[in-house]
Structure 1
Amino acid sequence: MTSFKVTVPASSANLGPGFDALGLALGLYDVVEVQVIESGLKVEVLDNGAGGVADVPTDETHLVVRAIRRTCERLGVHLPGLHLRCSNAIPHARGLGSSAAAVVSGVAAGYAIAGRPRDNGAVQLAAEFEGHADNAAASLFGGLVIAWCDGGEFHARRLTTHESLRPVVAVPELRSATATTRGLLPAEVPHHDAAFTAGRAALAVHALTSDPSLLLAATEDKLHQHYRAPAYPDTTRLIADLRAAGVAATVSGAGPTVLALTTDGIIPAAVDVSGFEVMELPVDLAGVQVTAG
């Protein structure tokens, strides 16, 4: 393919206890129009509500460009020139997988240019950029994913969420960098905290796929969220208020967005969400899509 469009969903990682292991694709999309040209590089970046366009490079360092080039190289395909038109709707640096979505769109574009169906190598390529596959696999496959790494090889499996699940996100203006919030995590955690979180992660898979009534308990975590709490006090306060109201709320990825896993799409009126943009986002079930341009 020499001219096509890539549509890639946002994602939320961790989902409480599933640190670097669970991801959920959400119905908010970046769109990249790709055209293979004779030579050179042209990148246009449009702000479709995501903000931060001024911070996005338009040269070889652009994340989509890097992902396309790496994929074509891995697949043995020569890429003469490239023209990209990127329409961003996924907020940047908010914990909704914007960087993973950019990488996945590039990987999908690389496979399309090569004329090859995506295989397990797509997960590997996408995960290599961030060192874990949770967000990337969710954007690749859609639905709920379980991701893991075995000897440097990344893997993921897709599960279908319960039909009643209606995620809601609360997105603040505050930005957060994954590298910064990871720096707040300790090198070691108490054994009882690890055991607690492992049990809740297993329960989260069951709750998300079979029994949403268990989501409040299933999204409890002792591995990472409370260590990161000082980085975003408003997020921490909102999560506490939502959970006190019976809503299964967590930090979305590295934050500062709040993810509420509901079955009615409603945030209780008594919960103060000032300072946050609240959106109900369906679970995306398709993952990244490539269509003729």
Structure 2
Amino acid sequence: MNRTAPEVEGGARAVIGRRVHVKVPATSANLGPGFDTLGLALARYDELEIEATDAATHDITVHGVGEGEVPLDGSHLVVRAMAHTFARAGVEMPSVRLVARNSIPHGRGLGSSGAAIVAGVIGASGLLEGIVDFSADDLLEIATELEGHPDNVAPALFGGLTIAWVTPDGPRHKKLIVHRGVSPLVLVPEQEMSTALARSLQPESVPHEDAVFNVSRSALLVAALIQSPELLLQATEDKLHQHYRAQAMPETDRLIRALRAEGHPAVVSGAGPSILVLSSDPSERAEAIRLVEEAAQTVWQPLPLAVDFLGATVSTPGD
């Protein structure tokens, strides 16, 4: 982080009146075998208008997903992420006027909490531009501190396919461009899933052969996504986490098995319960939708989505 020292001292006053527009994509983490490592940015977005004010309290409005459900005070996750970023910068955070227009489903394995955290981090960085400047590694580190692991926040920040890992110096990432033949489909159920519950169902250790299996499939998956989509069915096989979580989302598990039996590269999206199908042809998405409509016992919303290649963006009015 680069600081303009005289400005930091009065940083809260310096940002009053500044406004930014933030746009953050949905993400799908794990992608089958790439547990806590691989993530994909998807073209479905939360958009926010954020203004620093001298008011006594925050003024928060939410439209779309989460409207009437999420808190409208300092405990709102975007505001908490902003406060954490200001604190890391050594600048007192002012009150904010925030208007959020959300379309990323909550509790469905599409990175909604990661998106909120990223929105707060880059929103704060936009307000602090020229006072405290953040590098890409700074942004990833701050977001990971709040999220706990980088597999969702990395693709939300940077777009595309990301490989994320943690070093003694903090989290790092590598962004890769997905092959144009990959056509993602997300199937979203009505019910939510707790990420904490999903993680609690995993054992503390796994058999050596299962670990080796996933190492090979994770490597193959990277090749399949950037170069050889015809390998996606084999590349999305997993033995580390999905079958352990199946008991908490039985219909997700049943539909994934049905899809894969018909040749569709289907996996749990993040912690679930949504399903991600990494089709290698748009026509395969239509067939996967038809199969789920016939086999599902509850309502599932199909979302044919493009891969987002930009990641989170922050701009000021007039840009």
Give the TM-score normalised by the residue count of structure 2. Answer: 0.88
The CA deviation string for residues 23-58 of structure 1, in whole angstroms up to 9 with x for no partner, is: 0000000011101111321111111xx3x4332111
**Aligned residue type for 2:59:** K
The CA deviation string for residues 78-135 of structure 1, in whole angstroms up to 9 with x for no partner, is: 3222110111100000000000000001000111111035431100111111211011
Count residues with an aligned counterpart.
290
Contact 2:184-2:305 at 8 Å conserved across structures = yes
Mapping for residues 104-115 of structure 1, pairs under 5 Å: 104-115=118-129
CA distance in 1, matches of 2:286, 2:312: 29
- Greater Rg over alpha carbons, structure: 2
Q: Which moved more, 1:276-285 or 1:266-275?
A: 266-275
Contact 1:168-1:279 at 8 Å conserved across structures = yes
Mapping for residues 109-258 of structure 1, pairs under 5 Å: 109-115=123-129, 116=133, 118-151=135-168, 153-258=170-275
- The equivalent of 1:289 in structure 2 is 313
Pairwise CA distance, 1:202:
0.6
**Aligned residue type for 2:260:** R
Q: Which moved more, 1:190-199 or 1:1-10?
A: 1-10
Pairwise CA distance, 1:290:
1.0
SS at match of 1:192: helix
Pairwise CA distance, 1:68:
0.7
- The equivalent of 2:7 in structure 1 is none
The CA deviation string for residues 59-85 of structure 1, in whole angstroms up to 9 with x for no partner, is: 111100011111111122332221101
- Alignment match of 2:32 (pick from 6, 10, 16): 16
SS at match of 1:222: coil
CA distance in 2, matches of 1:54, 1:38: 26
**Aligned residue type for 1:160:** I
| Structure whose residues are more often helix by fraction | 2
CA distance in 2, matches of 1:241, 1:152: 43
**Aligned residue type for 2:113:** S
CA distance in 2, matches of 1:284, 1:276: 23
Pairwise CA distance, 1:237:
1.2
**Aligned residue type for 1:238:** L
CA distance in 1, matches of 2:169, 2:44: 30
Percent identity between the aligned chains? 47
Q: For structure 1, list consecutive stretches of 5 or more residues without a partner in the other structure.
A: none
SS at match of 2:179: coil
**Aligned residue type for 2:291:** V
**Aligned residue type for 1:284:** D
Contact 2:48-2:99 at 8 Å conserved across structures = yes
**Aligned residue type for 1:82:** V
- The equivalent of 1:90 in structure 2 is 104
- Alignment match of 2:92 (pick from 54, 78, 88): 78
CA distance in 2, matches of 1:279, 1:291: 27
Alignment root-mean-square deviation, CA: 1.3
SS at match of 1:189: coil
SS at match of 2:147: coil
SS at match of 1:20: coil
**Aligned residue type for 1:217:** Q
**Aligned residue type for 2:302:** V
SS at match of 1:55: coil
Contact 2:32-2:237 at 8 Å conserved across structures = yes
Pairwise CA distance, 1:152:
6.8
CA distance in 2, matches of 1:117, 1:162: 30
CA distance in 2, matches of 1:28, 1:118: 25
Give the TM-score normalised by the residue count of structure 1. Answer: 0.96
Q: Which moved more, 1:260-269 or 1:168-177?
A: 260-269
Contact 1:166-1:282 at 8 Å conserved across structures = yes
Q: Which moved more, 1:125-134 or 1:211-220?
A: 125-134
Query: Are residues 1:268 and 2:292 paired?
Result: no
SS at match of 2:27: strand
